[in-house]
Chains A and B, each alone.
Chain A
């Protein structure tokens, strides 16, 4: 993708994602958003899918596999799982799926709360480049990016989600 290509509307993508999930929505699902982008998307999905239960929020900093190289992320947010994980059908939500390492860390963390019945993965963007055998159950956008580029989901003052492209 080129730096000046227009980026898709992230809010519209959230609605598309909800429509993909809706026909396959498991019984008694629970949403878990990965900070920070995934948490915003999970909040959207909760409204769009008409779920009443509070969403879970997860920060994978304590479970990352690059701690030895990079140290602890300076901004860690508390993980909050306001429901019993044991036996639940979880939908893990992230903004961008790339190497799969964040997903691995999130699944490990969730299992420290209990044994879920199943875990699905919903993402807005899939940029390939997997280093682990991880796949999204639902994804809206397949995107090709150069290795130095990163796709970042932001939220503006009026609470609107929008993509931006950053170059390393």
Chain B
């Protein structure tokens, strides 16, 4: 099957999803990110790899943090970064997505970082670029609808490898609203590809997608059972807009069952790490004592995320 992320030599040209990404490429991303961590620790946090290249941040959906980390990553690679305020520009005036892309191609873009509320938008752009013969332009998905958020997935893998060294002996739990979470989907595909033997999903039935078992994920509705002996706990943000519907009774009720408190965390292994893609809702999915506690690696995830995004952009731009 044609994999739009890879060229004919099997090299990464776009990062659209962790699904279908070969293990060798995931490992390459993590290894190269490790070298970029060293660059970020220098006095001059810059290497000349993407000098003269133009990176366009196309955020059709808002996300200050993700956009900022992509911007920092591109700047540390010496690229020129252009942030498009899509909501207030051409799209608002009725221009189609692909017309916007054609215009940016005419401005000699080299790489698009795309965040879009519709699943598949980055694929559409990558396919369009192939059709018009612009395989020198690359696409990195920065989150599309409920579908995928591959750089978050890879930075989560970087975090796990950093603290646990090896994937082959781990029990990893993902907790919360997996149904609406592109982070969870990207994490599950990456974790299984990298050989994590036990991936667990913990949450109320209304917030877990059906057929998780088909992905090899063990489903738990009881937090205490699910957390038992885990090495890694990935908490997901409970989006406020889910709270008022039929999916959940109330924030307080949710916290009582699925909020990560020090007592619940004590059921995981003593050296378990706690991750969260941010932004956190304290007192909804996570207790402050855990979020600020010694097992939380949430802010380190943000730092690792810059190095991982540098790795992804420099790999695709070179292929």
**Interface size in chain A (residues, C-beta < 8 A):** 21
Contact A78 B48 (CB under 8 A): no
Choose one: A63, A67, A113; the contact of B42 (CB below 8 Å): A113
Segment with Cβ contacts to B, from A13-21, A69-77, A145-153, A154-162: A69-77
Contacts of A72 in B (CB 8 A): 32, 49, 314-315, 318
Contacts of A76 in B (CB 8 A): 31-32, 35
**What distance in Å separates the Cβ of B98 from its nearest Cβ neighbour in chain A?**
27
- Closest Cβ neighbor of A72 among chain B residues: B318
Chain B CB within 8 A of A80 CB: yes
Contacts of B42 in A (CB 8 A): 112-113
Contacts of B44 in A (CB 8 A): 112-113
**What distance in Å separates the Cβ of A80 from its nearest Cβ neighbour in chain B?**
7
**Majority secondary structure of chain B interface residues (helix, strand, loop or mixed):** helix
Contact A71 B318 (CB under 8 A): yes
Contacts of B38 in A (CB 8 A): 78-80
In the complex the two chains form, what is the Cα distance from A128 to B255 in whole Å?
70
Contacts of B168 in A (CB 8 A): none
Contacts of A67 in B (CB 8 A): 49, 318
Contacts of B34 in A (CB 8 A): 78
**What distance in Å separates the Cβ of A116 from its nearest Cβ neighbour in chain B?**
14
Chain A CB within 8 A of B37 CB: yes
Contacts of B48 in A (CB 8 A): 62-63, 108
How many contacting A-B pairs (Cβ < 8 A)? 48
Chain A CB within 8 A of B46 CB: yes
Chain B CB within 8 A of A61 CB: yes
Chain B CB within 8 A of A114 CB: yes
**What distance in Å separates the Cβ of B278 from its nearest Cβ neighbour in chain A?**
26
Contact A114 B43 (CB under 8 A): yes
In the complex the two chains form, what is the Cα distance from A30 to B53 in whole Å?
35
Chain B CB within 8 A of A126 CB: no
Chain B CB within 8 A of A59 CB: yes
- Closest Cβ neighbor of A70 among chain B residues: B318
- Closest Cβ neighbor of B28 among chain A residues: A74
In the complex the two chains form, what is the Cα distance from A5 to B310 in whole Å?
45
**What distance in Å separates the Cβ of A83 from its nearest Cβ neighbour in chain B?**
13
B13-48 interface bits toward A, Cβ cutoff 8 Å, 1 = contact, 0 = none: 000000000000000100110110111001110111
Choose one: A68, A78, A114; the contact of B35 (CB below 8 Å): A78
Most buried by A among B11, B34, B314, B315: B314
**What distance in Å separates the Cβ of A58 from its nearest Cβ neighbour in chain B?**
11
- Closest Cβ neighbor of A80 among chain B residues: B38
- Closest Cβ neighbor of A81 among chain B residues: B42
In the complex the two chains form, what is the Cα distance from A70 to B49 in whole Å?
12
Chain A CB within 8 A of B261 CB: no
Chain A CB within 8 A of B281 CB: no
List A66-98 residues whose CB lies under 8 Å from chain B.
67-68, 70-72, 74-80
Contact B35 A79 (CB under 8 A): yes
**What distance in Å separates the Cβ of A77 from its nearest Cβ neighbour in chain B?**
7
Contacts of A71 in B (CB 8 A): 11, 315, 318-319
In the complex the two chains form, what is the Cα distance from A72 to B314 in whole Å?
7
Known: A62-B47, A108-B48, A109-B47. 16 other contacts (CB 8 A): A62-B314, A63-B47, A67-B49, A68-B318, A72-B32, A72-B49, A72-B318, A75-B31, A78-B38, A79-B35, A80-B38, A112-B44, A112-B46, A112-B47, A113-B43, A114-B43
B-to-A contact residues, CB < 8 Å = 11, 28, 31-32, 34-35, 37-39, 42-44, 46-49, 314-315, 318-319
Closest 3 CB pairs of A and B: A71-B318, A62-B47, A78-B38
7 A/B residue pairs, CB under 8 Å, sorted by A? A62-B35, A62-B47, A62-B49, A68-B318, A71-B318, A79-B35, A108-B48
